[in-house]
Amino acid sequence: MPELAPGQMLDQYELLDTIACSGMATVFRARDIENDRTVALKVPYLQYSSDIVSHQRFLREEQIGLSLDHPGVIKTFRPAKRSRLYLVMEYVEGELLSVRLQRERRFPIPSALELAIQIADVLVYLHDRNVVHRDLKPDNIMILSTGKIKLMDFGIAFDTNQRRITWTGFSQPVGTPNYMAPEQIKGQRGSPRTDIYSLGIILYEMLTGKVPFSRRNVYAAMQAKILKNPIPPRRLRRDISPELEEILLRALERNPRDRLQSALEFRNALANPDAVVLTDRSAHRRPASRLAVWMWKLRALAFGLSSSREVRKVKGPEI
């Protein structure tokens, strides 16, 4: 069976054109001929459709998507029938946050805060329903013409109430290094505070024009994230208030226990920065312990971290 291409039919859907391609799937813009609705179809490549772990992941992504109903989340639909594995999603037009960042580099502070509050609102909704996204990044955030956002791609999200899937010997992306939390780099499953960290990275980038742990290669960037602290953002942009810097640095704590405790706390702090209690966090950043340095080096040696844009595990973590 050949891979699909625009112009072909897939059950009730006419494939119109290709929106995006990833390492695992192609996303098509398509027309639902039963109701004349434009949708997006995420179709895994054939080798992944027949793989049991990939199959389970796609079914889990669909299950999570069908359970969500929020204006800030791309909707998922269930087809009337399905002859092969694929996901049917809401099609929206807009601009990816990553594209806007490339064009504008850094945003006016009110604009950055407005977007971050919207993203935090979505995280509050997800976390209240026990869903952790785990791949929050500008490429997965669409900004509509109205200024509202849509969060996309729940491919590595998980429901904390569902059982874990474990496997070995399977190479699979588990996140994007620039936006991953330290615990993800360590191979841990993650928690709602993992999404809080990723949102902190996104807000830092919107305000300063750069991610906090930018290095020449992926290995160095991840090592820095495990062992070092971010440059306080006011050193890069003086009109950032001390209160906003405090919020950012709390979101970017290496240890999840030291971070903002919930997406709601993050959202409320961003909406009311004057109520934030200042500490000496920006002046006295704790260095990583010598044990942490050696543990990181041993882990990197054992897992053979990739230098590609996304991390690939030789031994898959619990997901």
Asked whether 25 and 118 are in contact (CB, 8 A), the reply is no
**For the chain, what's the residue count?**
319
State the CB neighbour count (10 A cutoff) for residue 257. 7
Residue 5, C-beta contacts closer than 8 angstroms, at least 6 positions apart: 15
User: Strands 149-151 and 37-44, how do they pair?
Assistant: unpaired
Residue for token digits 């160095």? 220
Name the residue type at position 196.
Answer: I
Are 240 and 104 a contacting pair, CB within 8 Å?
no
Beta partners for residue 90, in sequence order: 39
Using alpha carbons only, how large is the chain's radius of gyration in Å?
Answer: 20
Strand partners, 43: 26
Provide the token pair at 18: 């290709």
**Given the residues 11, 32, 121, 135, the one annotated as active site:** 135
Residue 195 a catalytic site member: no
Nearest C-alpha neighbor of 8 from the set 36, 52, 54, 41: 41
Which residues are known to be catalytic? 135
